[in-house]
Amino acid sequence: MAERRIQLTRRGYEKLQRELNILTSEENSKVAEMLAEAREDDQGEEAVFFDAMVSKERLDERVSHLQNVLARAEIIDADADIHTVTPGNRVIVYDSGEKEEFALDLLDTEEITHGRRGVSLDSPVGKALLGKRVGDRVKVEVPDGMVTYRIRGIEMIPDGDN
C-alpha cells in the first residue's frame, strides 16, 4: 500500500526543511560531542553515556520522521479550485449559534503538529468543510456539541500568516 501524500503549504514545507537542516548539522555535532565526552570520561559514568545515547536516538528518530514527511510532501502553491474548499484554504465561516464570523485555515495534520495554527484536514470540522462551496451550510459535531457554519468565503492562506 502506498503511503498517503502529505499536503503542506509552501511555508510549512520550508519550516520543516529548515528544522531538518538544523537537526542534521548543529544538533548532530552536539550529540556526537556528548558521546565522545562520555566515552573519554575516566570515571566511567554510565549515566552520562546513557543520556547521550538517548539524545542521539531521539535526534535520529526526529530526523527520520522529517525526512519521511518531506519525501511524501505535496506542496500546495495554488488553489486547485477557487470555488471549492481544498487543503491550504482559509475558509471564512459564520457560526450561526455564536453569531460570529471567523477564519479557519485547513492544514494537513503534519503541519499542525509542527506548530502551525489551523484546523486539521483529518478533524471532523476539516472533513466537513472539504469540498464545500461559498453559501453552503455545514453541520458538524464538535466537543461542545453540534455547530452549524455557513461558508462565506474561500481563499488561499497567505504566505506570511501563522
Residue 162 pLDDT greater than 80, yes or no? no
Which among 75, 100, 120 is the end of a domain? 75
Look up cell 562520555; give the residue: 38
pLDDT at res. 126: 95
Residue 47 belongs to a domain: yes
Count of structural domains, the chain: 2
CATH code, 116: 3.10.50.30
Structural domain boundaries, residue 106:
79-156
d(CA 145, CA 134): 24
Q: Do residues 71 and 85 share a domain?
A: no
d(CA 156, CA 92): 11
Model confidence, pTM: 0.73
Q: Do residues 64 and 125 share a domain?
A: no
Q: pLDDT tens-digit profile of 45-85?
A: 677 777 777 878 888 899 999 999 999 999 987 766 788 99
Q: Do residues 20 and 83 share a domain?
A: no
Query: Mean pLDDT, to the nearest integer, of 117-137?
Result: 94
d(CA 69, CA 76): 14
Query: Mean pLDDT, to the nearest integer, of 88-93?
Result: 94
Q: Do residues 110 and 150 share a domain?
A: yes
